[in-house]
Amino acid sequence: MAFVIPSLPLSLPLPPLCALDLADAYEHFSEGKLNITMRLKILFPFLDKALSDGVIGVVVFSPNYCKSYFCLHELALFTESKKKVIPIFCDIKPSQLRVPSKVVCEENEHQRFSWALEEAKHTVGLSFNSFKG
């Protein structure tokens, strides 16, 4: 999960969500009409633009974070664009961050994701253990 802190001014309009308007997209998502591949094809351009326009990214790492292609893609975008990343490690140690072999991606993406995780591992962040509070 990642949060983007946008650059100023905050009043800029968001780019259109590909060919679908937001109401139409919401209807498709809520009714499950789009499979996951179609959802990603629709959302990626929108999110890539938002991430590239942001100034700071707050990334919340969890035990399942590295299993998500979507999360790894966002992290790679942050690191490739040299954005400031504030990592929060929730119930996971930085040394445990690895791209699992089960993540379906091309070889160059696997290297890209591994590099982004290495950068995040060596960035000072916050740790949170939900068992200790």
Could you list the active site residues?
74
87 vs 58: CA distance, rounded Å? 6
Residue 32 per-residue DSSP state: T
98 vs 114: CA distance, rounded Å? 7
Q: Which two tokens stand for residue 22?
A: 């937001």
User: 6 forms bridges with which residues in the sheet?
Assistant: 54
Beta pairing, strands 2-6 & 54-61: antiparallel
107 vs 99: CA distance, rounded Å? 12
